[in-house]
């Protein structure tokens, strides 16, 4: 199980002193590159922990009960750097660019009963100020889990990455109502609709084609949004949404049997950077 250490608040409180851009940038890089928490590999590769006992989004297994379902899930209740959050306000800083280096790969989709997850073959990375993270998988939530200035979006994708030491970085992509999304359409045509089922897509796809043109982002220190809710995750939410047809988001909700988004969590003094 994951080792959960409270580091986000300590790192981000460095920004309250001085106010100089260089100091702020140093603290950002520290939070993104030097998170001292190794999150469980099962949580990273599964996207949702995939752990017993049963948890979900309603009833006895709903998010408000996660922390009491198993001692390993206690961080879901007592953690102070939990995700998702409402991205509001924030400090203007000179954030390091995210260098995306994604390759086309055969697509293996999994319906794990909590989300539609796409496992990604090794070799695709992001690099942030010299630190490289490997793309493990991406998955979807409807409605969005994070909010921007109080607004939830019809769907959100989480691209989960890990560095060589097991530290996680998640890139979030928002989907707004609009034109049908060609990348999502290719996935949904082969979506595994039964829980605990899989589906492969012939040929290969590159998830970079799903990303918006602008790569500007918000950043903060957070957690996995599902049990065990491990903290120390570097979050980078792209500011520009991409479009999705209402029916595309509705299909995910229908297959999941309802919405699969955790409610917003308190900031508890964390700072958001933009």
Just list the catalytic residues.
114
Give 3-state DSSP helix, strand, coil % of the chain, rounded to 5.
25, 30, 45
Q: Which residues pair with 77 in a beta bridge?
A: none
How many whole angstroms separate alpha carbon 270 and alpha carbon 105? 36
* Neighbour-count burial for 175-193, b at 16+ CB within 10 Å, e otherwise: beeeeebebbeebbeeebe
Can you spell out the DSSP letters for 74-129? Answer: THHHH-SS-S--EE-S-B---PPPEEEE---EEEEEEE-SS-EEEE--TT-EEEET
């Amino acid at each position: 199980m994951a080792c959960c250490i409270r580091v986000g608040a300590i790192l981000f409180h460095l920004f309250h002193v001085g106010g100089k851009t260089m100091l702020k940038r140093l603290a950002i890089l520290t939070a993104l590159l030097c998170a001292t928490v190794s999150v469980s590999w099962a949580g990273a590769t599964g996207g949702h922990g995939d752990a017993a006992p049963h948890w979900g989004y309603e009833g006895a297994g709903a998010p408000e009960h996660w922390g009491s379902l198993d001692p390993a899930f206690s961080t879901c209740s007592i953690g102070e750097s939990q995700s998702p959050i409402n991205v509001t306000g924030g400090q203007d800083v000179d954030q390091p660019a995210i260098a995306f280096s994604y390759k086309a790969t055969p697509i293996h989709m999994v319906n794990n009963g909590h989300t539609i997850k796409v496992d990604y073959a090794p070799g695709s990375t992001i690099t942030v100020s010299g630190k490289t993270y490997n793309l493990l998988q991406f998955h979807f939530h409807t409605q969005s889990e994070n909010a921007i200035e109080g607004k939830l979006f019809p769907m959100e994708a989480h691209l989960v990455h890990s560095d060589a030491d097991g530290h996680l970085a998640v890139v979030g992509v928002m989907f707004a109502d609009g034109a049908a999304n060609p990348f999502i359409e290719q996935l949904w045509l082969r979506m595994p609709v039964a829980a605990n089922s899989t589906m492969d897509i012939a040929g290969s796809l590159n998830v970079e084609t799903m990303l918006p043109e602008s790569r500007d982002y918000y950043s903060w220190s957070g957690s996995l949004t599902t049990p065990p809710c491990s903290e120390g995750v570097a979050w980078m939410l792209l500011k520009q949404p991409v479009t999705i047809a209402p029916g595309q988001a509705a299909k995910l909700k229908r297959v999941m049997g309802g919405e699969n988004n955790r409610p917003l969590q308190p900031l508890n003094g964390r700072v958001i950077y933009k």
